[in-house]
Every structure is written in structure tokens, then in C-alpha cells.
Amino acid sequence: MPELLVVGSVALDSVATPFGAVREALGGSATFFSYSASFFTGVRLLATVGEDFPHEHLDLLKDRGVNIASLQISQGRTFRWSGEYGYDLNEAKTLDTQLNVFADFKPILTEEVRRVPYLFLANIDPVLQLDVLHQMAERPRLVALDTMNFWIRGKRDDLLRVLAEVDVVTINDGEARELAGEPNLVRATRAIAAMGPKTVVVKRGEYGALMFSGNTFFMVPAYPLESVYDPTGAGDTFAGGFVGYLASMDRVDAATMRRAVVYGSVMASFAVEDFSLNRLTRLTRDEIGQRYVAFGDLTRVESASG
């Protein structure tokens, strides 16, 4: 099964929602991504943490089979993020961001890592995303990228540069509208595809996900959940299921891409059921398979028999 490389953040998150709160829980874009993708394929995690990073978090990743040989422990403190959500769980309010060891993160990829065939550039500085992409020994079979409003506003030119070189972008709906400067989501999605990525995947929170690829739209609703506790990491968990499934099949044709969007949605639907990675650490392959079937049932329409 082809391996997958992710570069992004490993963090300690403090999160409050109307349903509870956690302090300095395991978080970060590359953490959610790699944990989620590990259910589908082998994943290498390229990131940095500080000397204060709790050892049990490393064990958690190792126990799931995530390859952390490229997870560098640097002098200083781990990246910290804190945020809160109101009853509208679609948008986080960031209270504090401390880059800490991430501020000076300049990874040098080993020869082995440079040959990994699937690459996910998780939400980090687009300059760093492009640097990692350019260190690859040959063009990966698939390069996907995630970003956020912080880079859209602050490093737009760098972001456009890396977007021009990737195959897939995953992005929130509000960020898609902002990146394209276009309120209509359909037009915004087409505009982003014109920036480079052949495939645009828009994450719409409680409204599901949309993929634009090959001039065709594909839509998946969100799974109807009675209790959503914490949406933190849902987008990265989605991306982990999406790219993880593609790497596991080693195919990127249209039908496989559609199934990958459903697997991404399945993984995200579990992630939001508890804080941090708590639900994912209890997750089984059987549950993933069952919910994949349930997603099919959600939209199934049989032909009329008269």
C-alpha cells in the first residue's frame, strides 16, 4: 500500500464549546490528518514539537502505526492554540495562537521521505508547504493542500504559488469564497480550480462536503448527528480519510475520488462526536465500514418501477 506523507502542525489545543472544554489536549492539523489516514494506509508525520510535548501523545500516534521518525523534538515549547465555539459550531473563535517551536521549523526531508508517493500539505505557512513540495525527489502521484483565512489574507501570493502546483485543495466554504472573492460557492469553486488544483474539495461543516473535479460537482451531506461536541480537527480528519483512502487504493480516477470524499466525511463525522482525538482513539474499522454504508443510504434513490 503506497505511503502517505503529511507536513503540518502538532499542537496542544485548549477548546471550549457549549458542551464542555478541554485544556492542552492533543491537536494540530497533521495530528488529526495522520491519525485519520492511518486507518487506511501507512502515514509519515513531518512536524515539530517542543520538549514539553507529553510522551503519551507520541505513544498514541505510534500505537496507531503513524510513522513519527520525522517528528522532530525541538528546544522550546510545543505549538499551542486555544479557541471557542458558540451553538453555531460552524466557526471557531481563535482566542490565542502560540507558534513556539513552529516559528523556526525548517524541515530537511530524508532521502526516503522524498520518495513517498502521496503528499498532504496540511494547514501551515504556504512558503513551508512549497519548500516541502520542492524537496520531493520526484513529483508525488498526488499532492493535496489545505489552507485557511490566515494565509489567504496574509500570504496570498505565496499561497497562489503553491496552489498552482498541487492536484487537490481542501478548504472551508467561507475560505473558498474569500480566496476567490466570490460570494456564490459554485463560481468560487470554479475560480479556485482555475488557480491550479484540478480538484477542489469544499468542507461545509454541518452541511457536508462538495467536490469539483473534471468540470463535475459531487456532493455528500453531513451525517445526521444528534450530538456534536467539538468540531476542532474535523476538516483535517476529513482530509486524512480522503487522501488516506486514495493512497490505499493507489488510484485517483473520478469514481475513487468520490468514494474518498465519502470516507473523509465518515471520518469527520466521528471526530466531532467527542473532544480532541478522543472518539478516533475508540474507533474501529467495522464502525468506519458501517458508517460508509449508512452514508450511501442517506442519499439513495431507487428508480421508479411504476
154 binds a second copy (CB under 8 A): no
Q: How far is the CB of 219 from a second copy (least distance, A)?
A: 4
Distance CA 72, CA 174 (A): 33
Give the burial string for 187-219 (b: 16+ CB within 10 Å, else e): ebbbbbbeebbebbbbbbbbebbbbbbeeeebe
293 binds a second copy (CB under 8 A): no
Nearer CB in complex with a second copy: 75/216: 216
x/- binding map, residues 247-286, to a second copy, per CB under 8 A?
--x-----xx-xx--x------------------------
Q: What are the phi and psi torsion angles at 280 (to 5°)?
A: -65, -30
Contacts of residue 218, defined as CB under 8 A and 6 or more positions apart, other chains included, come to 210, 211, 212, 257, 258, 261
Distance CA 294, CA 113 (A): 37
* Residue among 58, 73, 99, 185 that touches a second copy (CB under 8 A): 185
Residue where the block lists cell 508525488: 140
Nearer CB in complex with a second copy: 154/289: 289
* Residue among 133, 201, 220, 247 that touches a second copy (CB under 8 A): 220
226 binds a second copy (CB under 8 A): yes
> Which listed range, 33-41, 107-115, 148-156, 204-212, lies at the site for a second copy (CB under 8 A)?
204-212
In degrees, to the nearest 5, what angle opens at C-alpha 47 toward C-alphas 178 and 99? 60
Distance CA 278, CA 216 (A): 36
What one-letter code names the amino acid at 246? L
Nearer CB in complex with a second copy: 148/202: 202
204 binds a second copy (CB under 8 A): yes
Q: How far is the CB of 198 from a second copy (least distance, A)?
A: 17
Residues near a second copy (CB under 8 A) are: 87, 183-187, 204, 206-208, 210, 216-221, 224-228, 249, 255-256, 258-259, 262, 296-302, 304
